[in-house]
Amino acid sequence: MLFRSLATHGKDRSIFQLLHDSAHRGAHIVQQLLLFGRGGDAHLESIALDRLVQEIANIIRETFPRHITYQQELPTDLWPIRGDATQIHQILLNLCINARDAMPNGGRLRIIADNHTVTAPLPDSAPDATPGPYVRLHVTDTGCGMPPDVLTRIFDPFFTTKPLGQGTGLGLATVREIVKKHGGFLTVESQVGTGSTFTVYLPARDLTEPQSSAPIDTTKLSGNGETILIVDDETSVQQMLQLALEGLNYRTLVANDGAEALALHTQNPDTVRLVIADMVMPNFPGQNTIRCLRQVAPRLPIIAISGLESEKAKVDALADPHIQFVFKPFSLEQITSAVRRQLDSRQP
């Protein structure tokens, strides 16, 4: 919301964009930690790598030492991949941080991306590689380089050449694990005193597959004075949703739990057009709220929100076409576009 209302100058916009991207990435990292904790697989979607590279470029320009110059080469026809955006971001960030640390006296860091079709024979260093179309990411530095005995161990967990307290030895091990999970492989070339190049091969998405979702047209998210009932026990979520929706010409009613929500709906049965309900609330959880609402309003559009996969499973089990699930944490664009879709799809 600050970005939309205050970022009028070029420098302001770049700062707000960096804040926005960092918060967005932080939210996804929390989701990723939860995902790893459950031992599940990543959520794969169609990704344009140039956007992720640009995010990394912003971080490099804002935080890396000034004596490290940055260059990038990204073709306009770069193939999309299927992957987890947070994990691909982590690959790039880890490799760039390693490159930075290899150039304590300065140097040049380059990220180059290109399309590449792998055919036999495959690289000896990648025995699990399979032929096919890939997008290659080359991260090159002009740093100290690595001798052969170090090269054979750099992907081992907890192995590091950095001083005590300056490295965990998990960065490259994590990179290799993520690349493997995405069905890709990586190679490394290094020469002492010259620098290193890490090349990541990520399978390209089948271009005949449909895109996972169409881009959001943010110019069509405004309301027409419809009343939306917000049900959430977190004040910060209530306030954020109120500000966002009222700023888009919706009216709002707010309830702290399911009991309050049912009372407000009873008082405004012909006014409430949609309900946004948190699934995890004390005393009266979202699932009970939905069941009670359905007794009096069988086709009322509902958006269920939660950060838990288990709550999504409960919503899916209801098999209700008038309920949409949105994962927390969500962006304003995600929730407001969900609101608009639900209202537009409502039949008389």
What CATH number has the domain bearing residue 53? 3.30.565.10
Q: Which neighbouring-strand residues pair with 108?
A: 69
Question: Hey, is 180 helix, strand or coil?
Answer: helix
User: Is 14 part of a structural domain of the chain?
Assistant: yes
pLDDT score, position 325: 92
Residues 160 and 190 in one domain: yes
pLDDT single digits (tens) 62-104:
889 999 999 999 999 999 998 888 788 889 988 999 899 889 9
Residues 164 and 66 in one domain: yes
User: Is 133 part of a structural domain of the chain?
Assistant: yes
pLDDT score, position 212: 44
Residues 288 and 169 in one domain: no
Picking from 149, 170, 203, the residue at the C-terminal end of a domain is 203
Residues 194 and 64 in one domain: yes
Residues 33 and 48 in one domain: no
- Which H or E run contains 209? none
pLDDT score, position 124: 64
User: Is 209 part of a structural domain of the chain?
Assistant: no
Residues 320 and 229 in one domain: yes
Q: What are phi and psi of 127, to 5 degrees?
A: -65, -25
Residues 56 and 115 in one domain: yes
User: Is 85 part of a structural domain of the chain?
Assistant: yes
CB 70 within 8 A of CB 60: yes
CATH number at residue 255: 3.40.50.2300
User: Is 210 part of a structural domain of the chain?
Assistant: no
Mean pLDDT by 10 residues, the chain (348 residues): 69 78 72 54 75 88 91 93 85 91 93 90 68 93 86 69 54 82 89 92 74 50 91 91 92 93 93 94 86 92 88 88 87 86 76
Range of the domain at 25: 1-40
User: Which of 275, 273, 229 lies closest to 253, judged by CA?
Assistant: 229
Residues 86 and 198 in one domain: yes
User: Is 257 part of a structural domain of the chain?
Assistant: yes
User: Is 208 part of a structural domain of the chain?
Assistant: no
Residues 74 and 222 in one domain: no
Residues 1 and 56 in one domain: no
Token duo for residue 304: 């269920």
Question: Hey, is 111 helix, strand or coil?
Answer: strand
pLDDT score, position 165: 46
Q: What are phi and psi of 69, to 5 degrees?
A: -90, 150
Residues 183 and 294 in one domain: no
Residues 271 and 312 in one domain: yes
Q: At what angle do helices 85-101 and 10-38 cross, to 10 degrees?
A: 110
Picking from 203, 229, 252, the residue at the C-terminal end of a domain is 203
pTM of the model: 0.57
User: Is 15 part of a structural domain of the chain?
Assistant: yes
pLDDT single digits (tens) 76-87:
999 999 888 878
Q: How many domains does the chain have?
A: 3
Picking from 150, 172, 203, the residue at the C-terminal end of a domain is 203
pLDDT score, position 38: 53
